[in-house]
Structure 1
Amino acid sequence: MQPSRVSLALISILGLSVTGAHAAEVESTATENQENIYEVLQIIGSKEDARQLAGSSAVIDNEQLTIEANTDINQLLKTVPGVYIREEDGQGLRPNIGIRAAAGGRSSKVTLMEDGVMIAPAPYIDPAAYYFPEAYRMHTIEVLKGAPLLRYGPQTTGGVINMITTPIPLENSGKIVAKMGEFNTQDIHAYYGGRSGDFGFLIDTVQRSSAGFKDIDRSSRDAGFDIEDYLLKFSWTGERQSLLAKVQYSEQVSNETYAGLTDADFAENPNRRYGLSEIDQMTNQHNGYSLTYTLDVTDNSRLSAIAYRNEYKRDWFKTSTNSFINAANAGDAEAQAILDGTMDAQDLRYTHGNRAYESYGVELNMTTMLANHTLNVGVRDHNDTLDRYQPIEVYDQINGSLVFDSVIAPTGGDNRLEGGDARTFWINDAWQASADLLVNLALRYENVETFREQFSVPDRSVPGSYRSNTTKEWLPGVSFTYDLDDAWQVLAGVHRGFSPIGGGASETDEPETSTNYEAGVRYTNGWFVEALAFRSDFNNQAEVCSLASPCSNGATSGTYVTGEAVVQGLEFQLGHELRAGEFNLPVHFNYTFSDAEISVDNPITGVAKGDRLADIPEHTMSMRLGLEHDSGWNNYVVAKYMDETCVRVGCNQNESPFSYTESVFVVDLISRYPLSQQATVFLKVDNLFDQQRIVSRTPHGARPNKPQTVSVGLEYSF
């Protein structure tokens, strides 16, 4: 790596490339910045940058997003090594994403960002991602692992996912992508923007609707959704400074449920839904605001300041069928009859999962180049609040229909306030020690104060029970790359991992911490090959418990600390483009092996050495193949495999089939044909061979991936 690449860090967008891992910024980004386009908040850059960082990473670039026309973030991230997906609804509405040692329950153990700003509803006190940005409106998706992720947080064990929205165009222009498919599915992404002098703007929207692929017993109601998403950007650029304002609003109504199926019913029809779940529905609304200011203090220093606020409220009205499904799986005929609607049942409880979140903060960051060092120093003050008020409606099932009975006002765990204040500091040094050796030193400090007040009366007229927690953690890390020659590079790193303990923690509770290692080699010479080994040693591995993702001990709130554990494995990726006459054949292959086990007996929780951890598959794989013709008629195949996973810790010690999900192999086909320079039509077949498996057993029973789905679309630029 040449020293000249380090200097590019000084013109990285908004100065957010903060370690030596980020020193190699894309040439195109540098050119745009020289034109005073200070907008897109990247943490990596391009695919080429990802292949030079002193930490493993990946970029799903705009080309891949355009080709696959995917609305499901799960399917996109399955093409990234080291990423684990536990599907839930088959449509990607509420993803469960894990990275390496960070298991995937509600994506609560990874740091989620949009344009460099944390996007989970409450990243510190309740990071479960019941809100997730629309993948269909993203321009690029970045995944950062290893020691460089210490710049970002608060989750620093597994990885960071940064989703980059549509940038303001250089010239007045726009684009519409419209797709229609089976199950009455309609997806539209449209934007228009441009610049006039020092000012720029962008108007961006996504409109999606579907009837869903499941059929509800004895009901005319569909199992689909309606989504509206709007994004506005306004920018101003001066000689040495810039300002960017961003406003986002979205709302969703989805007839989704926590109810899965018994294994016997799944085998007969995986796309069935029990009539008990007929009235289940999620409604939510998200508002996001950010204001970013940058100032080139000197030719070698840049200051950036970001103020942000996210507001999210939702009500997931749903029933729990877990006890009936478990009993029916065990052979209880009455439980099965209640699920089938042939037996009456009383006191069926439907909870309003009614919660309101606010997260807001201010971040300051200074990037300075001194000799062979690129220093990055920053601070962030962040606040989370959560108001949970969840009344319960009681119904009876009579002759297969639901009949309203009464309302139970919320108390206890259904009626509580939570809050948190986090102050964070970081310093990173990218030191170009020689022409071939790049060393990255990182130090992060987290000071987190949380509280929970839980009320015993619905109107909160009596002070509730109170608990609080204070956590202070220093998180060091170091990584390096060394160029053996023009083609071969070695890299390695070690860093301390941290996961906040959440708003329900008491003063004696301790956060999850780990020591994380990675080492490997890269080859870049026409072919790109990368092989990495990783290992995470946990002092106190913990699961985050929720109704959507119960812990291994059955808890649906708080955390379940299993103790010392080790997650280790291998990641391999290969990329190449072959040329044959009029054809271009791009090939990309990824494979991940993971071994995740308890490493020491824990007599308190009852887990034992050798127990497999939950939600981490042993084998995952993806392959993307293209057949591109000079005429522009291009065809692609995307194949994805994920091994079976444990539903709870120690499933390898349990012969029950209900302790595992099933392995699944899915192939997607895409064909694109240009009608003109502005217009392209495309055909997509998701799950070409219609392979449906039990990809999840939480929440509440066996759940399938999406069946074969055919769609057609038009992409038009103007």
Structure 2
Amino acid sequence: MYTTNKKIIVAATAVAMGVNVANAYAETQGNQAESLEVDSVVVKGILPDRLETVPGSYSVVDEKALNERRPFSLQEAINNVPGVHIVGENTFGLGVNIGIRGMDPRRTSRTLLMEDGMPLFLGPYGDPSAHYTTPIERVQRIEVVKGSGQILYGPQTVGGMINFVTKPVPKNGFEGSVTGMVGNNDFTGFAANLGVGGEQGGIMIDAIQKKGDGIRKNHDFEMRELMVKGQLNLTESQRIIAKVGYYEENSHVSETGLGAIEYAQDKYQAPTGKNDRFEYERKSLQLQHIFDINANTTLTTNAYYVDAFRTSFRQINAPGTISGSPDIQTGVSVMDRCQSLGPATVANAAQCGGRHRPRSYDYYGFEPRLDIKHSLFGIESSAVVGFRYHEEGNKRQQFRDADPRAQSLSYAKAFGDFREDIRIDIEAKSYYAQNTFYLGDWTLTPGLRVEDYKKKINVLQAEGDPQGFAKTNSQTVWLPGIGTTWNGIANTTVFAGIHRGFAPPRPSRDINFDDLAGLDAISSTRAEESTNTEIGVRSSYFKGVGFEATLFNIDFDEIVIQRNAGDFINAGKSQQTGLELAARVDFGRIYDSPHNFYIAGNYTNLFTAKFKKNTDETTGGNRLPYAPRDIASINFGYQHPVGINARIGVDYVSQQYVDPDNSTVESLDGQEGRIPAYTLLNASVNFKPVGSKLTYFMSGHNLADKEYLISRVDGKVAGRQRQVFAGIRYDF
């Protein structure tokens, strides 16, 4: 892998080359502008300008919807999107778990997350874990795409993708906002957005800080982010947009849950929470050069670089279990480094060490993309052609020690048991092309994406064994797709599409820790591929009424499941089939009244989510883990012309299985058994007096303070208790 400095230079050079080529082209055509007349700063997302031509299902949570809902975090912002299932293991969505259409939501590994088109994962190919998402205060809108339009992006395309579109740089002088928030559970938050801009471009700064208590006791957290975004209008047809960001998080979060007995005693306890912690630091750079070659052709060159470091410390590795051979389940957790101290308590946790897992990640890439409007075949068309080069590196280490001084990472590194040192390097090239033919009321959009990647796993140390071994694998995958739309009825689109989905194998899952000296010390978990089909309709034909209905089917090949803790295998084929419904009725628009009562809701019926044919013939026909059959929400709201916007809503999630065997009897470690259905009540109110620059708001989640189980991935984890917060925002 390149050094950090070289990667930054390469990223900047990619954009600079685009600028130079663009300037040369403009000069030869005599198009160099004598004065800059940039009419507006348009915030571009991953969806095209002509939304009626999108040949698949999508949802847009725009600025108006975000203000209406006043989400506490990303989790509340998108849990009304049909097909989306969120497992909220923590209060503030710092490590989100999002599943789309029956996909396993764990760390959002099968849903592509992006910010302004740039991947957000720890490692997009090597470790697609969502330990970071764009803070909601920086977001102008959220795009969720589930149809065949996914082939323009990657590498995760089996379920869907979510793009956070950030606020644009101001263009009319000094603009911005300041927001202060306070709530129960010791929550406080502050966000400032300050920017200035004009004809030549501008600059904007976002500063955010939040802190508070988590779901369980001793689970306090604090996060800070600083983002600088700038735009330089080189000519009337060219502009450069740059973002530089720094994010840090410090949380006392126990990654393990509770055993069945201790959960029954106090579901919100975290005996080792004062010592357990998760620390995360992320630095990012994104450069974009946009060149409008002419009215029909735009060349966009993107370059990005991310450097991230995360480390976690925990004292309990197997909840509800005494670690041994075999493990003995007791329902009460014991610290794996200090079993002689007995069940974990706040007092004896202070006398023990634990395990540290520091990991560093870096990746960079550059992507030129050409958008062309043409009639090459005698048919009005728009085409997208692009290429992306991407490299990433991952260094994973682990240290263990029972000495209480080993709660410090520096001590553990110097004196602890050095258990793991694994290096993963990935090189990926992506090619894509898509063309939309406009055929009267019809559109036809065929496309193709090619993923060509190579991964290298170098195990320097594993389970304390210093003998090293390495393995290199490469693969080329062709991912075609085609979709169509019909717009023969006013404000109505009927769509259908089919595409191949792809999720690359995660190298960290390929190490056989039980047979480090064997021939299969590094196995090869095969890539997951899918065939995604859907047909649907979206319409606003009737005044004040909007709705969408989509029938979808996903046939999954070589689905990867977690057989045991840390043990992943390909489990054959699976199928997810379901119906998504979403609608909103605004009675104020229907009756031309300034007083608007509205009803908005969505419903997902995942009536099939099963293993079809699996490798060990034990789970065929069973339901997929964390794939609830029914997800629904309904909201009732009122908007008053004096500036009041109030809403109350109900969210429902049906019962779920949590393992491939569909266990119904709870195990003492809490990792087997069902998750019962739950219903949550939430509400929000905003008041912005007419002509005022101040907005007053209040939002509440789980207002009935319902106690419910949310996850069994690593022991039992309770869902969030009642959370209410209020704030004031000043716009200038």
Corresponding residue number in structure 2 for 1:696: 711
Corresponding residue number in structure 2 for 1:648: 659
Contact map agreement 1:263 1:329 (CA 8 A) in 2: no
Cα deviation code 1:68-121 (max 9, x no counterpart) = 332421222211011111121233110011111432111111111001111111
Task: Give, as a single letter, the amino acid of the residue that structure 2 aligns with 1:673.
Answer: F
Corresponding residue number in structure 1 for 2:455: 450
Partners of 1:346 and 1:180 lie apart in 2 by 31
Percent of aligned pairs with the same amino acid = 25
Corresponding residue number in structure 2 for 1:639: 650
Change (3 A) 1:305 1:415: same
Partners of 2:328 and 2:64 lie apart in 1 by 45
Q: Does 1:478 align with 2:490?
A: no
Change (3 A) 1:451 1:630: same
Task: Give, as a single letter, the amino acid of the residue that structure 2 aligns with 1:367.
Answer: D
Cα deviation code 1:508-558 (max 9, x no counterpart) = 543111111001223322211221111111121113xxxxxxx1x11416x
Contact map agreement 2:224 2:247 (CA 8 A) in 1: yes
Identify which range, 500-509 or 86-95, moves more after superposition. Answer: 500-509
The TM-score, its normalising length taken from structure 2, stands at 0.84
Change (3 A) 1:473 1:194: same
Structural mapping, 1:544-555, within 5 Å: 551=562, 553-555=563-565
Q: 1:43 aligns with which of 46, 57, 61?
A: 46
Partners of 1:211 and 1:345 lie apart in 2 by 20
Contact map agreement 2:71 2:699 (CA 8 A) in 1: no
Q: 1:664 aligns with which of 657, 675, 678?
A: 678
Find the residue that maps to 1:615 and give its secondary structure: coil
Find the residue that maps to 2:402 and give its secondary structure: strand
Task: Give, as a single letter, the amino acid of the residue that structure 2 aligns with 1:178.
Answer: G
Cα deviation code 1:648-701 (max 9, x no counterpart) = 1121676768322232211211122225510021222221111120011123x2
Find the residue that maps to 1:63 and give its secondary structure: helix
Change (3 A) 1:440 1:393: same
Corresponding residue number in structure 2 for 1:517: 533
Alpha-carbon shift at residue 187 of structure 1 (Å): 1.2
Cα deviation code 1:606-644 (max 9, x no counterpart) = 433211111211111122321111111221113211122
Q: 1:341 aligns with which of 340, 345, 368?
A: 345
Find the residue that maps to 1:607 and give its secondary structure: coil
Alpha-carbon shift at residue 326 of structure 1 (Å): 8.5
Q: 1:310 aligns with which of 306, 310, 324?
A: 306
Contact map agreement 1:88 1:698 (CA 8 A) in 2: no
Alpha-carbon shift at residue 331 of structure 1 (Å): 5.3
Contact map agreement 2:320 2:334 (CA 8 A) in 1: yes
Structural mapping, 1:618-629, within 5 Å: 618-629=629-640
Q: Does 1:466 align with 2:475?
A: no
Identify which range, 368-377 or 652-661, moves more after superposition. Answer: 652-661
Gaps of 5+ in 2: 1-17, 19-35, 336-340, 406-410, 511-521
Identify which range, 387-396 or 222-231, moves more after superposition. Answer: 387-396
Alpha-carbon shift at residue 347 of structure 1 (Å): 11
Partners of 1:309 and 1:145 lie apart in 2 by 26
Change (3 A) 1:487 1:59: closer
Change (3 A) 1:522 1:344: closer
Count the aligned residue pairs.
Answer: 657
Change (3 A) 1:206 1:370: same
Alpha-carbon shift at residue 387 of structure 1 (Å): 0.8
Partners of 1:584 and 1:326 lie apart in 2 by 59
Find the residue that maps to 2:75 and give its secondary structure: helix
Q: 1:586 aligns with which of 561, 585, 598?
A: 598
Change (3 A) 1:389 1:574: same
Corresponding residue number in structure 2 for 1:129: 130
Alpha-carbon shift at residue 598 of structure 1 (Å): 4.1
Task: Give, as a single letter, the amino acid of the residue that structure 2 aligns with 1:554.
Answer: N
Q: 2:702 aligns with which of 687, 696, 700?
A: 687
The TM-score, its normalising length taken from structure 1, stands at 0.85
Alpha-carbon shift at residue 408 of structure 1 (Å): 3.2
Corresponding residue number in structure 2 for 1:421: 427
Change (3 A) 1:293 1:210: same
Partners of 2:178 and 2:451 lie apart in 1 by 43
Q: Does 1:288 align with 2:306?
A: no
Change (3 A) 1:697 1:623: same
Contact map agreement 2:225 2:248 (CA 8 A) in 1: yes
Q: Does 1:262 align with 2:259?
A: yes
User: Alignment RMSD, CA only?
Assistant: 3.0
Contact map agreement 1:597 1:609 (CA 8 A) in 2: no
Alpha-carbon shift at residue 34 of structure 1 (Å): 8.7
Contact map agreement 1:50 1:59 (CA 8 A) in 2: no
Gaps of 5+ in 1: 1-14, 16-32, 216-221, 398-403, 544-550
Partners of 2:707 and 2:37 lie apart in 1 by 50
Structural mapping, 1:138-149, within 5 Å: 138-149=139-150
Contact map agreement 1:50 1:56 (CA 8 A) in 2: no
Q: Does 1:107 align with 2:112?
A: no
Contact map agreement 2:111 2:159 (CA 8 A) in 1: yes
Partners of 2:322 and 2:489 lie apart in 1 by 59
Partners of 1:227 and 1:595 lie apart in 2 by 39
Alpha-carbon shift at residue 498 of structure 1 (Å): 0.6
Find the residue that maps to 2:572 and give its secondary structure: strand
Contact map agreement 1:428 1:442 (CA 8 A) in 2: yes
Partners of 1:652 and 1:536 lie apart in 2 by 24
Alpha-carbon shift at residue 566 of structure 1 (Å): 0.7
Corresponding residue number in structure 2 for 1:162: 163
Corresponding residue number in structure 1 for 2:559: 541
Cα deviation code 1:345-376 (max 9, x no counterpart) = 99966221200100100001001111211011
Change (3 A) 1:695 1:58: same
Partners of 1:415 and 1:242 lie apart in 2 by 44
Contact map agreement 1:141 1:161 (CA 8 A) in 2: yes
Partners of 1:678 and 1:80 lie apart in 2 by 30
Corresponding residue number in structure 2 for 1:375: 383
Alpha-carbon shift at residue 278 of structure 1 (Å): 2.7
Task: Give, as a single letter, the amino acid of the residue that structure 1 aligns with 2:392.
Answer: D
Alpha-carbon shift at residue 300 of structure 1 (Å): 1.2
Structural mapping, 1:60-459, within 5 Å: 60-171=61-172, 172-215=174-217, 222-237=218-233, 238-274=235-271, 276-324=272-320, 338-339=342-343, 341=345, 350-371=354-375, 372-395=380-403, 407-411=415-419, 414-433=420-439, 435-456=440-461
Task: Give, as a single letter, the amino acid of the residue that structure 2 aligns with 1:410.
Answer: F
Corresponding residue number in structure 2 for 1:19: none
Find the residue that maps to 1:339 and give its secondary structure: coil
Partners of 1:127 and 1:563 lie apart in 2 by 21
Partners of 2:342 and 2:551 lie apart in 1 by 50
Partners of 1:605 and 1:510 lie apart in 2 by 16
Partners of 1:223 and 1:332 lie apart in 2 by 21
Find the residue that maps to 1:154 and give its secondary structure: coil
Cα deviation code 1:173-200 (max 9, x no counterpart) = 1111211011211111210112133121
Alpha-carbon shift at residue 55 of structure 1 (Å): 0.7
Change (3 A) 1:333 1:449: closer
Partners of 1:456 and 1:87 lie apart in 2 by 34
Partners of 1:39 and 1:317 lie apart in 2 by 44
Corresponding residue number in structure 2 for 1:22: none
Task: Give, as a single letter, the amino acid of the residue that structure 1 aligns with 2:489.
Answer: D
Partners of 1:370 and 1:485 lie apart in 2 by 26
Task: Give, as a single letter, the amino acid of the residue that structure 1 aligns with 2:572.
Answer: G
Partners of 2:253 and 2:415 lie apart in 1 by 21
Change (3 A) 1:487 1:378: closer
Partners of 1:111 and 1:333 lie apart in 2 by 37
